[in-house]
Amino acid sequence: MQFILQSPTQKVIEQIIRDHNSDLFKLIIDNSFMNYCRNAHPIAIEFICKNVDQLLNILFADYNLIPKEQLQQYSEQINNIWEIIELNLEPILKQIEIHWQIIFELRWKQFVPDIQWGLAYKLLNLVKERDNSILEDLLKSQDFLISFLPFLNIHSVSQMLIAFFEIGFHQSQIDFLREGLKFFQKQDVFSIINYTYIVHEIMTRILIDQQMEYILRGEFLKTTFEVVVQENYDPIIQKNAAHIISLISNYYTMDMQNINVEDPDCQDIISQFKQTPFFANFDVSKIGQIFQKAVSKNIKVGLFIIKLVEVRERLLLDNRQFSSNYGFVNMGLNS
């Protein structure tokens, strides 16, 4: 029989674990144990690997069940756990890939503090960087993205959702965009801010054709126009609606900004533009009405008006003949 001699350090770590009855909850606030983790001692790391599921259970514990007198300790545990994760040790990361979907259980908890959603986003991002396909499989679950809509008022949730738009097209993304647009009728300010953020990322950075094509449909313009023409409406909601209009107008007018309507080669571009949902649904007279009301009532020029000015400037196209055809001259808005 062969005997394996234990090193003094190994004996110390094992004794620490025994002293705490292998209770990870206590071990991760034990300075000695944490120091062995920081130094990536094999015995400490092996113990962590065997208990990654418990580690994540602590991170995403039911906040309502944590006694107030333990909240400070819980905060320390969160910091230490994330410090362990950020060691980027492959054995630990592999175990996280197995157990990470616990973050989605946050959707069913009665109360989730913003910090836990923030940790969920960081963990999702870590997994995504290692293997995109893990996220792709989740999109196949019915109404997966839609199930996050009740939490869209939290910015970290919108960041999580963007990760699911970055990995390629899936029909569930369209379902989410369709349902999320309804926040403008509900006047849910924070959800609208984060929804607009997602639309902005799709139109300016992600640039996946199928996602953009859905946003470019007339439904988005109709909904956002209904918002911007309302009086006594929350200015933050109107600013976000105007931003979506601006994003759509920017897409359609990129090729139009330097055209010459006298040039036969430009006629196809103009003709194609007139066939777009944007041209069909964009009611430029409504922008004129908003400007006129702002001037007559001496309303302070805010971001909402500035966004509409951006739209108007794009549509002028530096060409009076085309902008006249589009209705600006008759409104007295041409320059």
String of DSSP letters for 106-151? GGGSS---HHHHHHHHHHHHHHHHH-THHHHHHTTSTTTTGGGGGG
Cα 92 to Cα 49: distance, rounded to the nearest angstrom: 5
Position 298 confidence tier, pLDDT thresholds 50, 70, 90: low
> In the chain, how many domains are there?
1
- Whether residue 123 is contained in a domain is answered as yes
**Best-predicted range by mean pLDDT (70-74, 153-157, 220-224):** 153-157
**Identity (one letter) of the amino acid at 294?**
A
**Identity (one letter) of the amino acid at 96?**
I
CB atoms within 10 A of CB 192: 26
**Identity (one letter) of the amino acid at 255?**
D
**Whose structure tokens read 């009740």?**
150
- Whether residue 104 is contained in a domain is answered as yes
The pLDDT > 90 percentage for the chain reads: 63
CB atoms within 10 A of CB 121: 21
- Whether residue 312 is contained in a domain is answered as no
Looking at residue 206, what DSSP letter applies?
I
Looking at residue 23, what DSSP letter applies?
-
Residue 184 · residue 237 · CB < 8 Å = yes
**42 is in which domain, residue-wise?**
8-63+78-128
> What separation in angstroms does the CA of 104 have from each of 12, 51, 108, 150, 284?
37, 19, 8, 13, 43
- Whether residue 106 is contained in a domain is answered as yes
- Whether residue 152 is contained in a domain is answered as no
- Whether residue 112 is contained in a domain is answered as yes
- Whether residue 57 is contained in a domain is answered as yes
- Of 54, 44, 131, give the one whose Cα is nearest residue 89: 44
Measure the N-to-C terminal CA separation of the chain; round to a whole number of Å.
95
- Whether residue 51 is contained in a domain is answered as yes
User: Model-level pTM?
Assistant: 0.86
> What integer is the mean pLDDT of 92-112?
96
What digits encode the pLDDT tens for the residues 153-206? 999 999 999 999 999 999 999 999 999 999 999 999 999 999 999 999 999 999
Residues 6+ apart with CB under 8 A from 289: 229
**Identity (one letter) of the amino acid at 269?**
I
Residues 6+ apart with CB under 8 A from 57: 102
What digits encode the pLDDT tens for the residues 114-131? 999 999 999 999 999 999
> Helices (DSSP H) in 189-266: which residue ranges?
189-201, 209-215, 218-228, 235-253
Residue 134 · residue 99 · CB < 8 Å = no
**Whose structure tokens read 């234990």?**
6
Residue 53 · residue 97 · CB < 8 Å = no
pLDDT score, position 72: 92
